[in-house]
Each structure stands twice: as C-alpha cells, then as structure tokens.
Structure 1
C-alpha cells in the first residue's frame, strides 16, 4: 500500500515466451514520474503478447499468440497474478483482445477472425467460445495480404459496437453480439495496400485514427456512433522523410485531451508526434524522437507519461511528455525480454 492506505498503481507487461520473455510481468508504478519496478512474473501461458484488464481491475486477460491460439484469465492479487483456469482456444495467432458486452473478443491474425468468449460474473472465462466472425477477402500485397488478418478488435466509445481492423483485407469491420455471436453490421474499405493494423478513437467519440503497417501512414476517419459507420477522410505519413524498406508502424494512442496523438514505427524505431487539428479531422506531424529501444510494438499513456514496449531490445521505456509540444523525453526503462505491450490499472 502507498501512503494513506491507497493501493499502489500497477502495470502489466506482456511478452513473447518463445523469444525468451518471462510471460506476464506485474510492475509497480511510481506516483511521481511513472517509473516501473518489476514485482513478479507468471509464465503459465505461451506468448501472452497482448493484455486487457477488467473494469474493476480484478481480472487480467491475455491472448496466447500461438498457432493454436488461446485466451486466458488471471486473478489480480496485489503484486502478483494467478491463472483462474486453462486457456480457452480461440483462433490462430490472436494479436489483440478487448472486453465487450460481457465477453472477451479476440482478433485472430492467423485465421482472420474475431472470437467471442463469455465472461462469468467472477471474471473467469467460459470453457468454450460463444461465436466466431470469420473475415474474408485479400489485398494487393503479395506476401502479407493473401487472406484476411484481423489484427485488433475493440469497442467504440459508445459501447454499442465492436470494431475490428484487418490488415489483410484493408478494411475495418463493425459488429455487434447476438446471443454471444459476433455479427457483422458493416465493412468499411480503406486504401488498397495500406495494411491497417490498429485504430484509436478520439475522446470526442466522433473521430478515429487508423495506423497502417504496410504504408507508414495514419488514416483519419469520422466515426458515426449512431449508425456504426466509419468514413475515411485523409491519410498522413508518420515519418518526415521517405521511409526505409524496414519501416512498419505498430502502436497508436491519442492523448486524453485529444489535442495530440502518438504512433510508433518499428525498424525506424521512432515515435511520431501529431497535433490533432480542424476539430479532429486533420493531423500535423510535429516531430519524431527515438523510442529508446528496438522494434517498438505497442504504446500506452498513463498519468502524463508515454510508455513503449520494445520487443527486440527487450525493454519498456517511459517518457515525460512536454505539456505544450507533447514531444516525449525519455525518463527511464525497465528490462523485459521480448516485451510486447503494457497496460495499467
């Protein structure tokens, strides 16, 4: 406990065990400056690459990004976590998960699908999924877009819709749940060959930003929560100069006040800072800074700090953010081999 009986804040870090990662790491978060200190780790699930925390903070969910593909639930107990049961099979190569309408949804990159698994009142998972939405289609990139590759799934700010981003089909799908089954309501096409990877919503609930992996850009979109419809408006490069052949954008986060957003680009190993202008409908690249490691896979914002999970250098770096320019300044790092994401309670 912190002073005054308040529980210390925690961070949970995912990693690739196949590349030497420790599994899921629990870390304490310093009240001043946001520094991370490792408390414990659990390696009972293979390749827990992406994590999501329940609203009450009592249960942590993790994908197992393997060929078989699974999702697991951990009970959170102070500075440690423990599995609540065996992982539940979902689809091949799940890369992302989120909580939606009493279910955990997983985006399965390998099988190109979204799977729904019911969540019990105590936070544990049902033994079997309740439904699967299979994505179909392809794109012009010969190696990366031969089939559907769902890369992310998350609820929209209204909580009415689940939105999945598919790198293989250059599209975003909007769905709901019916009797526990994901049901497609709309599919929105993005530019062919862009390779959309992740989407972040603006706090106004009316705009969304899609970071593209195959062409280093961000697509600015208008989001209509009433209709569950996404409208692409413009596309902005994430780098000031022409990208190298080894430049693959990954993470994207929007500042809580909606005035700026950040992206990460692997290979170039930089963070890009954008000012959000024209009431959310235009991005202006302010600058780039080194990510503090190699192969930045995911970003997170917490209490004014920006955190980066650097997969190949095996560390999580954190940055103090200038309140005016929002340019990050590296403030520290913690070693986590094959780090893949970080979430906060």
Structure 2
C-alpha cells in the first residue's frame, strides 16, 4: 500500500484542505483516510520529505504561508506542526532539500523565491532568504511582471531552477544550507521563447537534459543541461496540442517516467495529457494525447512503481486513474474516479 496526499482549493468551504488516501499498489485503487487536522486555505501544492515523513503545503492566499505536517508512513495520519509566511503572495510550488533541512517556495503574484529552514522536530522557521525577481514579457495580460511558478532541485541539491512565467526565464540558484541563502548562479538564468511562460520543470533521470512546460502557448522546451555550471541550452520546443493553439488553452504540469522513456504534460482547455517519447538525445516525439475525462487538469502524478498516472481535474472535482503502457507510453483509463473537491496537487508519501 502507498500513501497519497491531495492538495485542493478550499473555495466556498467545500474542501477540507489536504486529503490523504491509501493506494492499492496492484490495482491503483484509492481509499480515503479520515483526518481531523486544521484546515489550510488553498493548499494548492504539496511536497513530501519521505525520508523524515514530513509533508509541506502552500497556503495560496494573498499573504501566503507554508505549512508543515508530520505523517505516519503506515496509517497516513497527518499531524499539523506549524506554519510560516512564504515571503510573498500566492505561493504555488515547493521543493525540499533531500536532507530535509530547508524548503524552497515560489510565490506567484509577488514573483519571489524564498528559502525556509526546517527544525529537527519538523517545524518551519522564518525564511532566511528571499529573492525578488523582476521583468516583464510580451503577453500584456499575464506577463505584466514577474510570476514565480515553480522552484525545482536537481538530484544533487546543488542547483535549483525557478520558472518565472512572467519574464520567460528559468532562474538558476545554488541553495546554500549552511547560510540559508539562495545564491544566484552564473549564468543566472536561461530564457524560453517570448510569450511562452515557463511554469513547471522536470529533470531526465539519466540524461543531461531538462524540460520546461510553458503555460501560455502550450509548449515544452527541451534544454541540454550542464550539471556542473548549471547552464541550460535550448535543443527543441514542441507543442503539447494535437490541434492549433486556442486562447482557452494552457499547460500546467510535466513529469518524466522513472525509466526516462516518456514525458507527460497536462493541457487545460484541451483537457488532456500530452504523451511524448524521449529520444537518445533527450528530444521529444509526439505519441498522442489522452483525455483526462474532466475539466482543467492542473496537476497529475505518476505512482512510484511507474504503473499508474493520476490526473487531477480541478473544475470537475475528480482524479482519474490510468494504466501506463511502459512500452508505448500510452495511457488507458482504469475506470476509477476519485471524488475530491477542486483537486490541484497529488503527491506520494
């Protein structure tokens, strides 16, 4: 059995905030775990520190917060620990250092990235560093200023990549756990094409390539990645849609399969998961698109075995389960739909 946590939007008080489930690793079926924990407003992104059995959640509100929980790895029971200001408005993404010593947060509306230390008991301490991004992009409605949308650690934890949707840049930092600082790298950023709007980011598990999914024009940019210098060099940009882009379309999440053979990305508006095969050079070839059987798939997750993909349909209050064909990368719906109010993040404990 695996433990799964789901973050939601709590609008209209219809959601309990963070939900917990047990997953049958053979069938992919979910069973809800009853919880009685303090309700966090808009826990729209979660990250698990599996080594220390901790869960961190954003509180995506005007003056944002990051909340800390402990969880029982067997029962899935959550215990609220504390919360701290996220150092910005509308925090929407988190990463945790593999030692568990610090949490990194991206604040969308204020365009800030921050670093918060974690105490030995799992409680968060006030931020030790905040980086204010600056700049604009050509999309007047969405790129009037910086919009930090994710902060992503490489496996060495020596580099962190922050996608800024508002400036068409992927910012590059070197988090220093000794000083608690997010030190700007040299080079300090990599650019995506104007108006792309980089949102989420994925590392290939074996190749020196990384992927940025670009919200504003539904594309994925493939970068060659220098693991030493941190530099990124664009190799390819490819559409996630099987038809021409429409103004109601936008991308959201991106993940690479554990074996490194396939990349998946979510399309809102088209309401599908885009499927790509990954070549020897890391470049992408379109395999197809699978309907998410709901509206607005903001987030999705692949289970630790790599057998199942779960798509969270924010505006139809469902999480839909798919079996992954590991030879072709294609998805087949299992028939399972989990009812959750406004689900927007799925993370395995």
TM-score scaled by structure 2? 0.93
Q: What residue number does 2:102 align with?
A: 103
Aligned partner of residue 142 in structure 1, secondary structure: coil
Which ranges of structure 2 fall in alignment gaps of 5 or more residues?
none
Name the CA distance, whole Å, in 2 between partners of 1:219 and 1:263: 12
Distance 1:279 1:60 in 2: 35
Matches of 2:86 and 2:273, distance apart in 1 = 34
| Residue 39 of structure 2 is aligned to residue 34 of structure 1 | no
Structure 1 spans left out of the alignment, 5+ residues = 1-7
Contact conserved, 1:33 with 1:320, CA < 8 A, in 2?
no
- Quick check: 2:318–2:339 contact (8 Å CA) kept in 1? yes
* Deviates further, 104-113 or 314-323: 314-323
What is the rounded CA distance, in whole Å, between the counterparts of 2:38 and 2:23 in structure 1? Answer: 21
Moved over 6 A (4+): none
Count of residues in correspondence between the two structures: 336
Residues 275-294 of structure 1 aligned to structure 2 (within 5 Å): 275-280=277-282, 282-294=283-295
Which position in structure 2 is the counterpart of 1:183?
183
| 1:327 counterpart = 2:330 | yes
Following superposition, the deviation at residue 157 of structure 1 comes to 2.4
User: Which residue of structure 2 lines up, in the alignment, with residue 10 of structure 1?
Assistant: 3
1:173 aligns with 2:171: yes
Contact 2:219–2:240 at 8 Å: present in 1 too?
yes
Counterparts of 1:328 and 1:121, CA distance in 2: 41
Deviation at 1:317, TM superposition (A): 1.3
RMSD between aligned alpha carbons? 1.4
Distance in 2, matches of 1:183 and 1:205, equals 25
CA distance in 2, matches of 1:254, 1:323: 12
Change (3 A) 1:252 1:273: same
Provide closer, same or farther for how the CA distance between residues 86 and 239 of structure 1 changes in structure 2, counting only shifts above 3 A: closer
- Offset from partner CA, 1:250-271 (integer Å, 9 cap, x none): 1111011111111110011011
Give, in angstroms, the shift of residue 32 of structure 1: 1.0
The structural deviation recorded for 1:43 is 4.8
Counterparts of 2:38 and 2:222, CA distance in 1: 38
**Length-normalised TM-score, structure 1:** 0.94
Task: Quote how far apart the aligned CAs of 1:57 are.
Answer: 4.9
